[in-house]
Structure 1
Amino acid sequence: MKKATTVFLKTVVILIGFPILGLCIFLVPEIGHVAAEMLPEWAYINYFVIAIFYAAVIPFYLALYQAYKLLLFIDKNKVFSESSVIALKKIKYCAITISCLHVLNVPLFYLFAEIDDAPGAVFVGLVVPIASMVIAVFAAVLQRLFQEALYIKSENDLTV
């Protein structure tokens, strides 16, 4: 049962990467183009928006790789190991990086909201940073839990 679950989760982790790759190829240049059209006095904003989105993809794929490694550790019954703690730490830092990068785009969503008179657009711009911070907090909690379990495990190994 456990093996089937981790195989399913590994498949999901791999499949998550494909839509993001598609978004990077097709949607991100379009978003940059729209930003340049809506703000013609800042035509260079196109490059800024594209750079932020592409820069955020790098930690996203690094976090996916770390999640895949974590699932491999679960398969090998090494979930409470130093390697798992390190993987969770890297996932946490990747999520924080993604959140910080997408916060740089929030003023752009504010300008879009001003132009279109749609105040909800600012909240749309906050979805990715808030979701990334939730993932970072969850990874930090799991990291702490795994560290405590690793400490208890080492204490029990020493007493036997």
Structure 2
Amino acid sequence: MKRGTTLFLKIAVILMGLPILAICIFIVPEVGLFGAELYPEFTFIKYLIWLVMYGAAIPYYLALYQSMKLLTYIDHNFAFSQFSVDALKNLKFCAIAISVIYVVGLPLFYLIAERDDAPGLILINMVLILASMVVGVFAAVLQRLLQEAINIKEENDLTV
């Protein structure tokens, strides 16, 4: 397969990382300070907010890295290999990790939403949890299908 065929997808993966980087640089510190203003008696709440949001960014970037690896394997004709299965497995674990981090941080965001009277914050958090779980389940299904395709290919190679 030509190397340029997945160029669009690689550019899309890079562009997916840029808004999250901007959010981590500009918005997350402000959200942490806003949480500390809402609860002045708990100034450590900003660190918890930063921990949840930056903690979710780490597996997100690891998932983007695994996506780039998978696209590179497709470029080099290793799409039906154990390397691709491993990349999908790692992508699945990253998506599950993002969901778990936001589920653990849900009470924290509930406190902020209740004090600020902003129920949309909980809704945004739930959408993030659901979206990452959908990506995780999709990666698990693709991993299983790819593993079965590899097994069938190996079985056919042995019979010829």
1:21 aligns with 2:21: yes
Instruction: Show the counterpart of 2:149.
Output: 149
Moved more, 19-28 or 138-147: 19-28
Shift of 1:104: 2.1
Identity %: 59
Q: Where has structure 1 moved over 6 Å in runs of 4 or more? A: none
Moved more, 92-101 or 14-23: 14-23
Q: What amino acid does structure 2 have at the position aligned with 1:90?
A: N
Shift of 1:37: 1.0
Q: In structure 2, the residue corresponding to 1:137 is in which secondary structure?
A: helix
Q: What amino acid does structure 1 have at the position aligned with 2:93?
A: Y
Shift of 1:112: 2.9
Q: Give the alignment's Cα RMSD to 1 decimal.
A: 1.7
Runs of 5+ unmatched residues, structure 2: none
Instruction: Show the counterpart of 1:35.
Output: 35
Instruction: Count residues with an aligned counterpart.
Output: 160
Q: Give TM-score, length-normalised by structure 2.
A: 0.92
Q: Give TM-score, length-normalised by structure 1.
A: 0.92
Q: Supply the distance in 1 between the matched residues of 2:49 and 2:156 (Cα, whole angstroms).
A: 52
CA deviation profile, 1:10-52 (whole Å, cap 9, x unmatched): 1111122122111111111011011111122221110111012
Q: Label 1:70 to 1:22 Cα distance change in 2 as closer, same or farther (>3 A).
A: same
Shift of 1:107: 1.2
CA deviation profile, 1:69-100 (whole Å, cap 9, x unmatched): 11111112211110000000000001111111
Instruction: Show the counterpart of 1:101.
Output: 101
Q: Supply the distance in 1 between the matched residues of 2:121 and 2:17 (Cα, whole angstroms).
A: 26
Q: In structure 2, the residue corresponding to 1:28 is in which secondary structure?
A: helix
Q: What amino acid does structure 2 have at the position aligned with 1:60?
A: Y
Q: In structure 2, the residue corresponding to 1:42 is in which secondary structure?
A: coil
CA deviation profile, 1:52-83 (whole Å, cap 9, x unmatched): 21122111111111100111111122111100
Contact 2:3–2:76 (CA under 8 A) maintained in structure 1: no
Instruction: Show the counterpart of 1:66.
Output: 66
Q: Supply the distance in 1 between the matched residues of 2:2 and 2:142 (Cα, whole angstroms).
A: 19
Q: How does 1:62-141 map to 2 (within 5 A)?
A: 62-141=62-141
